[in-house]
Structure 1
Amino acid sequence: MKTLSDLLLLGDPRLYQNCDPVRKEELPLVSGWVADLHAVMEAIRARYQFGRGIAAPQLGIMKRLFYQNIDRPIVVINPELVDVSPELDELWDDCMSFPNLLVKVRRHKTLTLAYRDEHWREQVWTVTDWSLAELIQHEYDHLNGVLCTMRAVDEQSFRWRPTPTD
């Protein structure tokens, strides 16, 4: 079982690599990967009080897979953005791979995502909730070796996360 110490941190070259698709014959491995993703996300939540999703490459699993758990767990395998809105919005993005840093980025307000679920069924998900759309784009970027630091609005779009005592 992977732990918080297995989380790749900003600067690790694996975070900048494109991930390989999950192959159907690898499906038996997915439940173990998801268990690891869930465990590390829960550790981040306990330590830093944030975390709604995590991508496989953040644990050195170089596969096109991410996991999110807001109101229920969702496993996203081999996702493809099939449509994004032209409308953008800005937010202060955070990332488990650099938990104390916030980065101002622009993301599409809505999107449509095609992917396979943990049972290898094809899914199409149209997301109109801004908070969820930006999360999906963040995790999707991880699969392509793109960090939110690379999407910063400008060179002044970085700040430290306030600690609970600030």
Structure 2
Amino acid sequence: MKTLADLLLLGDPRLYETCAPVLESDLPLVADWVADLHQVMNEIRAVYHFGRGIAAPQLGIMKRLVYVNIDRPLVLLNPELVALSEATFELWDDCMSFPNLLVRVRRHAAVTVRYRDEHWQEQTWTIEEPALAELLQHECDHLDGILCTMRAIDAQSFQWRPTPGSATFGEPAS
């Protein structure tokens, strides 16, 4: 079982690699990969108080697999963003691979993602909630070796996350 100590951190060259597709023959491995992703996401939540999704390459699993857990767990194999809204918005993005750094980025407000589920059934999901659309864009970027640091709006688009116990912890970054 992988733990937080296995999480790849900013600067690890594997984070910049393009992942290989998950093959149908990989399905027997998916449950273990998802268990590892779930474990590490729970550890991040406990330590850093954030985490809605994680991509397999963040644990050195170089496959096109995203795991999100907001209201319920969801496994996306070979996700592909097939439609992006013209409308965009800016936000302070965070990442488990550099948990104390926030990066100002611009994302599409709505997306449609096509993927296979853990039973190899093709699914399509249209996401019109900007916060969730942003999450899927962030995680799909990981599969292509793109970090939100590479999408920063400008050179001033970086700030340290307030630490737990500080006066501003838990408030949205401005």
- Interval containing the TM-score (normalised by the shorter chain): over 0.9
Aligned residues: 166
Partner of 1:38: 38
- Residue identity over aligned pairs, in percent, reads 71
Q: Runs of 5+ in structure 2 lacking a partner? A: 167-174
Partner of 1:16: 16
Deviations 1:49-80 (A, max 9, x none): 00000000000000000100000000000011
1:10 aligns to what SS in structure 2? coil
Q: How far apart are 1:24 and its partner, in Å? A: 0.3
| Letter of the structure 2 residue corresponding to residue 91 of structure 1 | L
Note the 1:36-115 alignment, pairs <5 A: 36-115=36-115
| RMSD between superposed Cα atoms in Å | 0.4
Deviations 1:9-34 (A, max 9, x none): 00000000000000000001000000
Q: Runs of 5+ in structure 1 lacking a partner? A: none
Q: For 2:13 and 2:69, locate their aligned partners in 1 and report how far apart those are by CA, in whole Å.
A: 27
Which aligned segments of 4 or more residues in structure 1 are displaced greater than 3 angstroms? none
Partner of 2:169: none
TM-score for both structures, normalised by structure 1: 0.99
1:130 aligns with 2:111: no
Q: How far apart are 1:164 and its partner, in Å? A: 1.7
TM-score for both structures, normalised by structure 2: 0.95
